Chain A
């Protein structure tokens, strides 16, 4: 289960209303490489992950991604809290305002709704962990792109925090790959799928012998 803590992982205190920036940042809520996608990816993959420490890591990073989603939502909320109909008309927030007023709704910067097709849970440890390495890189690129175009310090600070987290998570998923490799025969990591061909995986000695 999960239990809520009434604070943000990183503080968000944005002074100026700016619907244009909100429209860009919302991509990290409901966009293809956003935090909702990230949390759902890791929390979905963990069930069949065959190495306990790795399913633990997926749980912990998936949980942290939920906290990142909350940071992004807090930013969008504060950037649009005092928006007027006139602001919405002129600042590129008009289409969103018509459908959602100031309500939070997961979509990409270009208005495409959140879609679970953006992430994968493949049921194969190497396929999933390699996906996660790429996902962290893609999210870092989005934060780079945001940091290049946004100048407001109170918006940039949480963005650069989130960017560093992508790099740390990349490192941990890389280490998780090593944990999976340790359980397998390095002569051929692809001899069977450790999440599906469990008889091989449980009896590592036999599988290694079969290869020699």
Chain B
């Protein structure tokens, strides 16, 4: 049970609600948790954004799926670091890990490898900073 003390900083511990943004929207916003989406007035318009998949190549659409699932895992991992007892979050993590493995394998087979566990040479495919991530 969290209590406040004099001369000590205190931030309330986040509760797990099970309510997350869709992964696509979570990436645009910067968190999977609606309660942590606290936009700045000068950038509010982005906070409900969704990627327009029309006009994307198949490769770009697959990369977008990888980005969304991987980011959900990034955010969930930090939540689990401070909430290791949260079973529902663990279950969600397991589902996402499986999904990500499948997407990475698919990407390596059809385009180029993204991790050293995927087959293929490093020289295949553009560098990420060249705009190949969308």
Contacts and interface: CB of A to CB of B under 8 A. Distances in A.
Interface of A: 3-14, 53, 56-57, 60-61, 64, 70, 73-74, 77-78, 126, 130, 133, 143-144, 147-148, 156-157, 159-165, 167-179, 181, 186, 189-190
Contacts of A6: 112-115, 122, 125, 127-128
Given A9-B70, A9-B74, A160-B30, A167 B36 contact: yes
A53 B12 CA distance: 18
B43 A147 contact: yes
Interface in B101-130: 112-116, 122, 125, 127-129
A172 B78 contact: yes
B63 interface: yes
Nearest to A67: B74
B19 interface: no
Interface of B: 2-3, 5, 7-14, 27-31, 33, 36-40, 42-43, 46-47, 49, 63-64, 66-67, 70-71, 74-75, 77-79, 81-84, 112-116, 122, 125, 127-129, 131-134
B14 to A, nearest CB: 6
B30 A5 contact: no
B90 to A, nearest CB: 14
A111 B112 CA distance: 38
B21 to A, nearest CB: 11
A4 B31 contact: no
Nearest to B60: A11
A54 to B, nearest CB: 8
A13 B39 CA distance: 22
Which of B8, B13, B28, B43 has the largest number of chain A CB atoms within 10 A?
Answer: B43
B46 A157 contact: yes
B134 A171 contact: no
B128 A8 contact: yes
9 contacts: A4-B116, A6-B128, A9-B67, A133-B11, A144-B42, A160-B40, A171-B14, A174-B9, A181-B8
A70 B42 CA distance: 24
A198 to B, nearest CB: 21
A144 B40 CA distance: 7
B67 A11 contact: yes
B120 to A, nearest CB: 10
A128 to B, nearest CB: 12
A78 B133 CA distance: 13
Contacts of B64: 11
B59 to A, nearest CB: 12
Contact of B78 (A57, A162, A178): A57
B114 A8 contact: no
Contact of B9 (A13, A61, A159, A177): A177
Given A164-B39, A186-B3, 14 more contacts: A7-B67, A7-B114, A8-B133, A10-B133, A12-B131, A56-B81, A73-B129, A77-B129, A126-B8, A161-B28, A168-B78, A169-B78, A174-B13, A190-B7
B84 A53 contact: yes
B129 A8 contact: yes
Contact of B131 (A10, A13, A56, A160): A13
